[in-house]
């Protein structure tokens, strides 16, 4: 697979991360992109988010309107998996952070995709080896973890599965460079990889501070931004990531390491049950009446 020229990318999942990944592939790398989701309304929502993002780039003078239009022409939305995979040299999976859902998807994708194509997962924590075991060509499966928002964040974590080939890793490094990204290599398929292995315990501890009544969300975030120099406080970041996604990552790490230090704060689980998922649901640790305003709310 080394040296294979990527011309078309299929992005599986048009949500929070998938739409941004599709935009980066089309805008920065110049790839043709298929953007897939299971329902037309989800695909339409993803396309709308890309258009909104591009309009912001245009208003800031980063790109011009003809360039934005060209990017949209490169993105072909679909709800049909076979159509999405046709002709793709790189498939980037950005489905929900659910191991069973992903494994089932990998079974289906492996039956339809070219045996020479790379299947890369944007998972935040799930084992690449596990996902690869559901495919016919595990040597072509690799972790390609983007950060939110993919249009702006400069890093991609590359994660080796137990059978990931050197050629696959080299191809992903080249694709990431084409997308204008820096890369780091996680040499071992370990839960949480590099960034989330460090980050999630910190975010989880901030959630514990709220559940224990130690401080209000605003003061916790203020303490960390001013005291540690973080660009965003941990609770606001949880709202951006999605409380459900953060809980899934914590559960994967807890199961993978069998260590209570990764146990999720109880209020994260309660918030998910209550539908308080953060920015995407309008409420989390903060209220999100619009993307540009926040108001602290009581912990559930």
168 and 55 belong to one structural domain: yes
- Where b means 16+ CB within 10 Å and e means fewer, 136-152 reads ebbbbbbbbbbbbbbbe
Among the listed residues 137, 196, 248, 267, the single catalytic one is 196
Decide if 93 is catalytic: no
- Which token pair is 126? 């799930």
Q: Which residue is associated with the tokens 């595990």?
A: 138
248 and 157 belong to one structural domain: no
The DSSP-derived string for 96-116 is -S-HHHHHHHHHHHHHHS-TT
Phi, psi of 31 (to 5 degrees): -80, 155
| Structural domain for 289, as ranges | 197-296
Confidence at residue 180, expressed as pLDDT on a 0 to 100 scale:
97
Among the listed residues 34, 110, 122, 124, the single catalytic one is 124
On whether residue 75 sits in a domain, the answer given is: yes
Number of domains in the chain: 2
Decide if 204 is catalytic: no
CATH number of the domain encompassing residue 51 = 3.40.50.720
Decide if 212 is catalytic: no
Among the listed residues 97, 121, 145, 165, the single catalytic one is 145
Residue finishing a domain among 124, 154, 186: 186
- Mind listing the pLDDT tens digit for each residue in 216-247? 999 999 999 999 999 999 999 999 989 999 99
On whether residue 3 sits in a domain, the answer given is: no
On whether residue 2 sits in a domain, the answer given is: no
On whether residue 191 sits in a domain, the answer given is: no
Q: Under the phi-then-psi rule, with left for phi > 0, alpha for psi from -120 to 50, and beta for the rest, what region is 74? A: alpha
On whether residue 240 sits in a domain, the answer given is: yes
The CB density around residue 201, as the number of other CB atoms within 10 Å, is 16
Among the listed residues 117, 122, 157, 265, the single catalytic one is 157
On whether residue 141 sits in a domain, the answer given is: yes
Instruction: Please say whether the dihedral angle defined by the alpha carbons of residues 179, 141, 187 and 242, taken in this order, is positive or negative.
Output: positive
pTM: 0.87
- Mind listing the pLDDT tens digit for each residue in 142-170? 999 999 899 999 999 999 999 999 999 99
Decide if 145 is catalytic: yes
pLDDT at 206 exceeding the cut of 70 = yes
Q: What percent of the chain has pLDDT over 70?
A: 95
85 and 233 belong to one structural domain: no
64 and 96 belong to one structural domain: yes
- Mind listing the pLDDT tens digit for each residue in 67-122? 999 999 999 999 999 999 999 999 999 998 888 999 999 999 999 999 999 999 99
Q: How confident is the model at residue 294 (pLDDT cuts 50, 70, 90)?
A: very low
Asked if 8 and 33 touch (Cβ cutoff 8 Å), the reply is yes
């Amino acid at each position: 697979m080394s040296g294979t020229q990527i011309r078309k990318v299929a992005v599986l999942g048009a949500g929070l991360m998938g739409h941004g990944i599709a935009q980066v592939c089309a805008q920065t790398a110049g790839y043709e992109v298929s953007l897939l989701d299971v329902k037309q309304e989800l695909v339409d929502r993803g396309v709308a988010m890309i258009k909104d993002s591009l309009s912001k780039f245009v208003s800031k003078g980063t790109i011009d309107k003809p360039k934005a239009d060209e990017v949209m022409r490169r993105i072909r939305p679909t709800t049909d998996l076979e159509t999405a995979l046709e002709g793709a040299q790189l498939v980037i999976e950005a489905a929900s952070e659910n191991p069973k859902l992903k494994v089932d998807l990998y079974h289906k994708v492996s039956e339809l995709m070219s045996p020479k194509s790379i299947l890369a997962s944007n998972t935040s924590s799930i084992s690449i080896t596990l996902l690869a075991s559901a495919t016919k060509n595990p040597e072509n499966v690799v972790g390609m973890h983007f950060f939110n928002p993919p249009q702006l964040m400069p890093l991609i974590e590359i994660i080796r599965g137990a059978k990931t080939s050197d050629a696959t890793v080299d191809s992903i490094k080249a694709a990431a460079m084409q997308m204008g990204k820096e890369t780091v290599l996680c040499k071992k398929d370990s839960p949480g990889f590099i960034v989330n292995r460090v980050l999630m315990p910190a975010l989880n501890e901030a959630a514990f501070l709220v559940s224990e009544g130690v401080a209000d969300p605003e003061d916790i975030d203020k303490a960390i931004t001013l005291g540690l120099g973080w660009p965003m406080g941990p609770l606001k970041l949880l709202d951006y990531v999605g409380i459900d996604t953060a809980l899934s990552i914590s559960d994967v790490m807890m199961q993978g390491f069998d260590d209570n230090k990764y146990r999720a704060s109880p209020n994260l689980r309660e918030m998910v049950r209550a539908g308080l998922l953060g920015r995407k649901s309008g409420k989390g640790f903060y209220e999100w009446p619009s993307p540009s305003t926040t108001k602290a709310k009581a912990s559930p």
